Amino acid sequence: MPDNNHNILALLGVIAWRQGDAPAAREAFRAAIAHSDMLLEQTAQNYDALDAKALALCGLVLIEGRQHLPAVSAAYRAARAINKDAGVVGRVLRLLDALAVADQAGVLAEVRAAAGGEPSSTDRTD
């Protein structure tokens, strides 16, 4: 399995969702999550896999509902704990913004802080 499948599948999901093809988007997002999980089983510190998983989960939030939001925030927080480099964070935010264009309800706005490595009221545990 190529090392970049998780990113490619997440991007395919974003493209399919923006084109209005929810079934294809769901399939790509689920596959991206599965590939990310396989990588994370080998190396839990793989921030790239965590970011791809979070993006794919964001897609599932748009398709299936808010129940995926806690997992999105957790994946983004874990990724930012490993890597907060400006280039990485910028890429993550650009991809999230590309998906958020199709977020009519603005649901993904609450995970943007976690994606960028900033604390947010939804990320508190108190």
pLDDT single digits (tens) 74-118: 999 999 999 999 999 999 999 999 999 988 889 999 899 999 998
Indicate the pTM of the whole model.
Answer: 0.91
**Which pLDDT belongs to residue 63?**
94
pLDDT recorded at residue 120: 57
CB-hemisphere CA count at 13 Å for 65? 1
HEC assignment per residue over 33-79: HHHHHHHHHHCCCCHHHHHHHHHHHHHHHHHHCHHHHHHHHHHHHHH
Summary mean pLDDT of the chain: 90
Q: State the pLDDT confidence band at 31, using cuts at 50, 70 and 90.
A: very high
- The residues near 33 (Cβ < 8 Å, ≥ 6 apart) are 53, 56, 57, 60
Confidence (pLDDT) at 88? 94
